[in-house]
Every structure is written in C-alpha cells, then in structure tokens.
Amino acid sequence: MLRTHTCGELRLDHVNQKVTLAGWVQRVRNKGGLIWVDLRDRYGVTQLIFEEGSTEKELLEKAAQLGREFVIQASGKVIERTSKNDKIPTGAIEIKAEELTVLNPAKVPPFIIEDETDGGDDLRMKYRYLDLRRGVVREKLQLRHRMMQETRKYMDGQGFIEVETPVLIKSTPEGARDFVVPSRVNPGEFYALPQSPQTFKQLLMVSGFDRYFQIVKCFRDEDLRADRQPEFTQIDCEMSFVNQEDILMTFEGLVKSLFREVKGIELGEVDRMTFEDAMKGYGNDKPDLRFGMKFVELDHLAKGKGFSIFDQAELVVGINAQGAAGYTRKQVDELTDWVKRPQIGAKGLVYVRYNEDGSLKSSVDKFYSQEDLSAWAEAFGAKPGDLMLVLSGDAKSTRKQLSELRLKMGEDLGLRDRNVFKPLWVIDFPLLEWDEETQRYHAMHHPFTSPKREDIPLLESDPGSVRANAYDLVINGVEIGGGSIRIHDRATQQLMFTHLGFTPEEAQKQFGFLMEAFEYGAPPHGGIAFGFDRLCAIFGGSDSIRDYIAFPKNNSGRDVMIDTPSTISEDQLQELSIKVALKK
C-alpha cells in the first residue's frame, strides 16, 4: 500500500506515530518559511506542515511547487496542532512532513474542488470526474451505496432472491418510448432496452421463484426534468400467493427499515388514501401531507349570488392558508399573476382575508355579504389571521391548478420541511384512462394490472369506472414506488388486451409468450417497483435525482463529459443494415 492511513483517520491517539498518507492537494498556504498543505482523499482531509529550520530546504522547495489536485504521497510524524480546527474530524492533529513524493502533477482544475465551488452545472457535468472529488457530491453517492446495501439486507432477510433479467428485450407499444438496439445478425430487427423487467418478473413467478427482487437499470426515451433521467434505477420486486395487503405491509417494512438504518428515523404509521379522495382533497395522486390546506368545495355557498364566474363554473374550490392574512395586496396580486401563468392556466384568483378583528375582506365583496363570507370561513375551518384562496372552472383543470397553488403556499410558508417525512399509500387507482389524442383507453399503470374482481363487469358498460388492484407509495408529495396485483390467467389478460384496443393477432405477437406461460400454472402474484434514485434524493433532502447518479445526463439527454450520443461510422451503419435519414 502507498499509505498507512487515510486522510480522515488520524486523531490525537496517533500523536508521535510515523505515518504515510496519499491523496490530492486541496490547497497550499505558503507563508515563506512555513507551508501548510491540505491533503484530501475520499475519507477526509489532513493537514501537512513543512517548516523552515526543521524541514530540509530541498523538501521545503518541493512543497512550494505543489499545486491544487497534485497527487502526492507524504510521510512524517503525527503532531498535535497548536491551532485546532473543530470543523474537520482530523482538526486536532497535523503531519510534520519528512518525505514528499509527487505521484502525478495536475493542471489547474476548471473550477474549485471544494464544497462551495465556483463551477456551474454545465461545467461540473463536463468534468464530472472532478466534481465527484467534492465532499458534498461524494456524500450523496455514499448515501446511495448505504441504501443499496440496506435494501439487499432487508430483502434477503424476507426470503427474496435477487435475479438478473435481460437488458436486450422486445419492444412493446405501451408506456414510454423505448430505446432500441439494432441486431447485426438479424438485419432489420431490433432489441429494446427494458423500461422495467415487468414481464420477466411475472415469468419468474410462473417459474416458482415466489419472492424475487432486483436493483436494476431501466431505460425510457422521455423528455427529461429534475427527477427524470433516460436511464434510472429501480428496486424491482414480485411476490406469489399474496394479496394487496401482504405487499403493502412487506414494502412498508422495507421503507421503514431504510429510514431506521440509514437516517435513524422511526416512521410510524403509514396513512392510506384512495385515488378518488386524493384527487378530490389535494388535486393530485401524490399529495404532500406535511401540511394541511385540504381542498374545500364551495359550490353550495358560492353559486347563485350573481357572481357569474362562479355561477358558470363546474367547480368552486379553495384552500385555507393558516396565518397568511398578513399577505399584502401586492403579494396577493403576485399570487394571482402566478396562477394565471400558462403553466398553471387559471383565469383568476379570489381571496378572503380573515382579519384579526374578526372581519372578513375579500376581492368579491360586491357579491358576497359578511354573512356569506362567514359561511365560507366556517366551511374552511378558518380563524382570524387566515387567508382563503379560491379558484373556479371545470373540475379537472381547477383541481390541478389549486394543487399547484397549494404546493406553492406550502413552500412560501415554510411548511415543506425536508426533515419531516410523511409517507402515504394511495390505493384504488382507475384501471384505465382515456386518451383524447388516440380516442381510446390506455392502461393507467400497465396492461398486466389486475382489475378489482367486483369491477370486471364494468369493463363492458363503464370502463372508466373500473378500479385497479394498484397502489403507489408517496413520500412528501413524491411517488417513490408503485405496483399492482397482476393478472395471472390467459382469459382475463386477453380481455384486458381487447379493452386496450389490441387485436388478438397484435396481442399474440407482442405478449403471446406471457399468455402461454399463464396456461402452465401461473400463481396469483403481484409486486412493486421503487424509484431508487428518487428515494435517495428524498433521503438526501434534494429535488434532483441527478445528484445521486455518478455520471448523469443533462436535460437534453447528453453526457457532455464523454460527448454522447454521437454519430457512428458509415462502416458500422452498413454492418447494421441501417441508413440514416434525418428530418429537415
């Protein structure tokens, strides 16, 4: 070994020991006859000291030539620091250097490699291998490692077997766009990269592996954002001979175990809410329960008073922002402008301020008396000091708009504390959702999700009302996992394909292997997949999953460090029987 200890290891107990360290030069402070060098590796930072009089002149000159990010080896005696640094674990000691070897000099890095850096996102992604030297980035990947190990430990303890499934699979028409891979030995034919191992984990259940899991790479050719990458990682799981309750309890246990072992937090009870209640009360299917502001519908109180905007609306609904009555008129106008942005799409915002003296002031005083507004306040459960905010319009879009406003108010009022965690199971999703563009129903989750048995007759008469045996786990307004009880017999699966618009020939071509497998004794089964990157981001208190991926892509799906995607040679294209014809 080129070192006896790491740069984060030495303490006062090591004083007077002769040690050898190796690492990167973080900074050099040269006071002429006295030089300090901060030496860094992934374990920490240790200070080296070179002092005129006690250090050989040649060694002092060598130390003076060191630059940032030089890779060096240094040997010397551990001594107690006279001026201690309580900000780092090694701050009570330093190394009185006696030997110095430059293992590799370095160019001046394009940005400062410290927790507080001067490098922007684009620059740091181009030099990601340098960015990974920064402690704040390294800590995120260490958190990811810890969570991966604790996941495997829990799953192994529950009797699950880790099985790897293929990466080159068959393209399917449902879900997001596939990434496709040409086959050289089968000209004109293509593999797809898996969006998930869905059919394979079901086939493992048919095979008798009744508890499977995999920490697996998945691929989707989608538009990107902070919590989405073209390649991402799932904790993929499947179980046989279980019902929905068995799965919820098993994987509630996983999440509780991760919080306990990684963050030292006991989660407590995990609430449950139907999809219908989530949409009605919070306007989305992944409500953030760290704060209140549950929706209150005002149709019966607000309509019929001569205010045409409300009278003509399908829905009048609002939230109560506790303690926000102090918002100025300017602040309320800014909120109005915010909800009227194209991204939100509201036509306006009505407010009611509940003043500390008990009076009520609103933007619609012309149409509503104090008695009317008092009835609103009672419906909201509002008290003096609160601010009620009301939107109206068609039901679906208005709920979505109010959901965005609720999240903004929660953020502005400091109610979305990153150190508070509120998990929630959302259950009873619709099986199907109508797509206006294609004018047909699509599977809300995927085509293998089992409908509630009692709702199967509705597939013919009212397909939009059929509930699925599906469930999502949400933490702080972020969906971190979702799954379902699966269809496990050919007849029901064929019925599902029919209602999704597949002809029997299309279903056979795409999924014939799965339906045939169901005829060989498929057990009842179900599962769940967790977005591992999102889970890591929540544990680390970040909005972006990119921070928890060693080599992420940018918002255009490019890896700017290795400059890909890129063109390939004409010889390769010919070998693959591919001709490129770019759209103009």
531 in a labelled binding site:
yes
Beta strands 44-51 and 93-104: pairing type? parallel
Sign of CA dihedral 454, 457, 460, 462: negative
399 in a labelled binding site:
no
Residue that is written with structure tokens 């933007």 in the block: 363
222 in a labelled binding site:
yes
Q: Tens of pLDDT along 387-446?
A: 999 999 999 999 999 999 999 999 999 999 999 999 999 999 999 888 777 777 888 888
Residue that is written with structure tokens 């030099």 in the block: 127
Sign of CA dihedral 409, 411, 412, 417: positive
Name the CA radius of gyration of the chain, rounded.
30
d(CA 1, CA 4): 7
Per-residue model confidence (pLDDT) at position 506: 86
220 in a labelled binding site:
yes
Range 493-522 burial, b when 16+ CB lie within 10 A, else e = bbbbbebbebeeeebeebbeebbebbeeeb
> For residue 307, which amino acid is it?
F
Inter-CA distances, 542 with 121, 206, 415, 545, 551, Å: 15, 39, 16, 7, 17
Per-residue model confidence (pLDDT) at position 368: 95
The crossing angle, in degrees rounded to 10, of helices 135-157 and 244-258 is 140
Structure tokens at 495: 């019925």
Main-chain dihedrals φ then ψ at residue 187, nearest 5 degrees: -55, 135
Range 376-402 burial, b when 16+ CB lie within 10 A, else e = bbebbebeeebbbbbbbbeeebbbbbb
Per DSSP, the residues of 441-460 read EEESS-TTBPBPGGGTTHHH
Per DSSP, the residues of 484-525 read EEBP-SHHHHHHHHHHTT--HHHHHHHHHHHHHHHTTTPPPE
499 close to 447: Cβ distance less than 8 angstroms: no
Residue 537 gets the label, from left (phi > 0), alpha (psi -120 to 50) or beta, of: alpha
Q: Tens of pLDDT along 520-560?
A: 999 999 999 999 999 999 999 998 899 899 999 998 899 99
Per-residue model confidence (pLDDT) at position 173: 63
445 in a labelled binding site:
yes
Inter-CA distances, 50 with 11, 27, 491, Å: 19, 14, 80
Length of the chain: 584
Per-residue model confidence (pLDDT) at position 497: 86
Per-residue model confidence (pLDDT) at position 386: 97
Per-residue model confidence (pLDDT) at position 495: 87
| Cis geometry, peptide bond prior to residue 565 (ω within 30 degrees of 0) | yes
DSSP type of residue 440: E
Within 158-286, where are the H helices? 198-206, 244-258, 275-282
> What 3 state SS string does 354-417 have?
ECCCCCEEECCCCCCCHHHHHHHHHHHCCCCCCEEEEEEECHHHHHHHHHHHHHHHHHHCCCCC
d(CA 170, CA 197): 11
d(CA 225, CA 406): 21
d(CA 430, CA 452): 10
> For residue 378, which amino acid is it?
E
Per-residue model confidence (pLDDT) at position 459: 85
* List of the chain residues with pLDDT < 50: none
Inter-CA distances, 397 with 276, 278, 296, 394, 442, Å: 15, 15, 16, 6, 20
Structure tokens at 234: 């799932």
534 in a labelled binding site:
yes
Per-residue model confidence (pLDDT) at position 438: 75
Q: Tens of pLDDT along 454-498?
A: 988 888 888 888 999 999 999 999 999 999 999 999 988 888 888
Main-chain dihedrals φ then ψ at residue 166, nearest 5 degrees: -65, 150
Which residues, listed in sequence order, are joined to residue 321 by a DSSP beta bridge? 387
Per-residue model confidence (pLDDT) at position 174: 61
Write down the pTM of the prediction: 0.91
81 in a labelled binding site:
no
